[in-house]
Amino acid sequence: MKKLLLTLVGAGALLGAMTATAGPEEDRKAMIQYFKGKFPNVKFEDYVHGALALDADAKAQYDSIMEFPPYVEVIDKGKKMWETPFKNGKKYADCFPNGGKNVAAMYPMFDDKKGQVVIFEDALNDCRVANGEEAYKIDDAKTMGILLSYARGLSDGAKANVKVNGPAALAAYEDGKKTFYARAGQLNFSCANCHQLSAGVRLRSELLSPALGHTTHWPVFRGGDNLVTLQVRYKGCHNSVRHVPDAPGSTRYKNLEYFESYMSNGLPMQASVFRK
């Protein structure tokens, strides 16, 4: 009972700090302090590993698998897609600063001209369309997913650096924050219920992952070569709580990724990793 009360007090302190009047940076610092209190032995940079940061045995198994990942062929396909010229002769690298290296660490970003959050998938599709190609479906694992597996990997090691500048960007951030804390579905759960308040709690055979670092490592390969992107995972989470989900790439899910990505600023990117 005492442990439960302390948990609730800690969660209450975070929710109190992350009010509507607090800015994004105040929110981020409050999130870090919350998890520092909840898991004092976990280093900040280790949150990139999700729930693995809370389980030494599982992390050791993960490290072993990552020595020879079972999905290297998928990433190789993504590399081939990245390097294959469009019909006009240009490549994806021509669309991004530094040839795309370390670029994913800055996404999502708010595009003032579009008046909305742009996730990295959008940027890749904008590149395709600008070069006379058709856009990929955001949730198509065999096209966009494979491309992401390589393209996001070009930013491995770069620290997440998402910006929230201006009133329109702040409104999108706040909308994502609202989604993170709003209860939904027949189970009446929010993202925060599982990944903040109950982070580290075992659900069936798995530990619930902390929200800190959530956005740094996508796409993931579950159980081998089953590729899952973050936007598709958001849909899956809503299905799990029996809530009618949005389509991946919806405004709500983009804004949620915007909020969560800002919370993970300062953490190193590590795309295309193994998860159960």
Known catalytic residues are 237
Q: Which residue, among 157, 193, 159, 165, has the nearest Cα to 258 in the 3D structure?
A: 165
Q: Give the C-alpha separation, 144 to 151, whole Å.
A: 10
Q: Which residues, at least 6 apart from 61, have a Cβ–Cβ distance to it below 8 Å? A: none
Q: Give the C-alpha separation, 35 to 209, whole Å.
A: 11
Q: Which residue, among 153, 238, 127, has the nearest Cα to 193 in the 3D structure?
A: 238
Sole residue written with tokens 């005492």: 2
Q: For 245, which DSSP code?
A: P
Q: Give the C-alpha separation, 151 to 271, whole Å.
A: 9
Q: Evaluate the CA torsion angle 34, 36, 37, 42 in order and state its sign.
A: positive
Beta strands in the chain (DSSP E): 109-111, 116-118, 202-203, 206-207, 220-222, 226-228, 273-275
Q: For residue 222, what are the β-bridge partners? A: 226, 275
Sole residue written with tokens 């993170």: 180
Q: Give the C-alpha separation, 200 to 194, whole Å.
A: 9
